[in-house]
Amino acid sequence: MLNIKKAITGILAAAVVVSQCAAPGATAFAAEAEDHCYYDSVGDCYYYTVNDDGESATITGYDGEGGDVSIPEDIDGMNVTSIGNAAFEKCYNLTSVKIPDGVTSIGENAFDRCEDLTSVIIPNGVTSIENETFRFCTSLKEITIPEDVVSIGSFAFSYCQSLKSITIPDGVKSIGDNAFEECAIKSIILPDGLTSILAETFMDCADLISVTIPKSVTSIGEWAFSGCVSLTDVYFTGSELEWDAITFGWMNDVTRATIHYNSTGPEIGNSTSGSTGEFTSSGATYQVTSTANNTVKFVSYSGTASKATIPATVTYGGTKYKVTAIAANAFSGNKNITSVTIGKNVKKIGNKAFKGCKKLKTVKINSTKLTSVGKNAFKGISSSAKIKVPSDYKKAYKKLLTASGYTGKVKTL
């Protein structure tokens, strides 16, 4: 049966270019004539082309049953490094996608109109989210953008009407027009270094309550926050004078909100707006990343103890938050810690999180949800260090750690 399927696919690919993804209930893509088809273990076909180096491949299309999809990291002996333009466009049956660590490029419209897609894991190494990449992914609820991303394209997440939570890393320097139009985001922190908020970037985000804008911003385009009918608070990291120097385009509802100057966010314990902000507990600083999902990021540690713990949860202001990430440089250069225990809800460890912790000899990772370890996260820790991980995840976590630059021992708990 599989051979018949391969034969039919080959005939179609050689004869004509036809997209079947457009039909609801079908999850298929007929590739260009020169594309190849690779079948995974469940019989799904990934169309691909060989890159110019002759040693890597770009995924150009998909013909399969959909559901939870893990894109292969290598195809016919070649590493997959790119997802091509419109590769999964209109694949309505996709519900989740895991993109392999070797991928550094995701093309325009790659997942456009994947209406059942609820989650995506994007690896470190990807440096940009292109135009319309996740447009009309109406079931997508949350997404974490990797630390290496520096730009988000136009309409990248527009009309993601279920998207309530998104974390934008500090390295992002440009966000395209209409990037988050008509999303369900309740609050967002824009990264330092961003200089412009372009036209219609957050237009019709009717649930948006608060936004933190860095003082590096010098212009806010027309209609950028038009239709943000719930927007009540803007936290501006600069002074009132710097705010007044910003160039505002036409119809900017952001000016109707209360502007909080020299502020990175509300005092969480006193906030009733559901906005994001920072708080301190047991010598650690946390930043709320989603009020919809009650999640926080472990930002920094000011304690002097030799043993540190990133807890599974932390309670503040009567709310229990899951700790799902460790920020870049969270422990960088710490001279005291010798052991660290990482809680069961952590999904992401940021760049240089433990860099230069020369006394750090033991790291226990209790999480079974880890999907990302940033560059040089453990660079410069003790040469005799051991990182202990759950036994069922040793292979996967060792790969993540190696990709981050870690060369030491990985043991099981």
pLDDT digits (tens, 9 = 90+) for 132-158: 999 999 999 878 788 889 999 999 999
Phi-psi bin for 155: left (phi > 0), alpha (psi -120 to 50), beta? Answer: left
Provide the pLDDT for residue 304. Answer: 79
- Contact in structure between 68 and 99 (CB atoms under 8 Å): no
> How far is 376 from 144, CA to CA, in rounded Å?
19
Residue 22, pLDDT > 60, answer: no
**Mean predicted lDDT score pLDDT of the chain:** 86
Distance CA 331, CA 142 (A): 26
The phi and psi torsions of 124 (rounded to 5 degrees) equal -60, 150
* pLDDT value, residue 273: 34
Asked if 349 and 324 count as a contact pair (C-beta separation under 8 A), the reply is no
Strand-pair partners of 68:
96
pLDDT at residue 267, as a whole number: 52
- Residue 74 and residue 51 in contact, taking contact as beta carbons nearer than 8 Å: no
Does the pLDDT of residue 380 top 50, yes or no?
A: yes
Question: Where do we find the tokens 């010598």?
Answer: 283
- Of 200, 199, 171, 202, nearest in space to 188 by CA: 202
Residue 266 pLDDT: 62
pLDDT at residue 407 is higher than 90: yes
> What pLDDT digit, counting tens, does each position of 169-208 carry?
888 999 999 999 999 998 888 988 899 999 999 999 999 9
Amino acid letter at 9? T
* pLDDT, mean of residues 86-97: 95
d(C-alpha 299, C-alpha 401), whole Å: 20
Classify each residue of 8-39 as buried b or exposed e, where b means 16 or more C-beta atoms within 10 Å of its C-beta.
ebeebbeeeeebebeeeebbbbbbeeebbbbb
φ, ψ of residue 175 to 5 degrees: the values are: -130, 125
Averaged pLDDT, 19-26 = 43
- Check residue 265 and give its pLDDT: 67
pLDDT at position 73 is: 94
In the prediction, which pLDDT does 32 show?
Answer: 53
Confidence of residue 9 (pLDDT cuts 50, 70, 90): very low
Instruction: Report how far residue 28's alpha carbon sits from residue 63's, in angstroms, rounded to the nearest whole number.
Output: 4
The mean pLDDT of 335-351, rounded to a whole number, is 94
Cα–Cα distances (Å) from 346 to 92, 109, 155, 193, 298, in that order, read 30, 30, 29, 27, 9
The model's confidence at residue 21, banded by pLDDT at 50, 70 and 90, is low
Residue 388 token pair? 């202990």
Residue-level pLDDT at 240: 92
Per-residue pLDDT at 206: 93
Q: Which residues contact 41 (CB under 8 A, 6 or more apart)?
A: none
Query: How would you list the strands of the sheet with 94-98, edge to edge?
Result: 67-70, 94-98, 119-121
pLDDT in tens, 296-334: 999 998 877 888 999 999 887 667 889 999 998 899 999
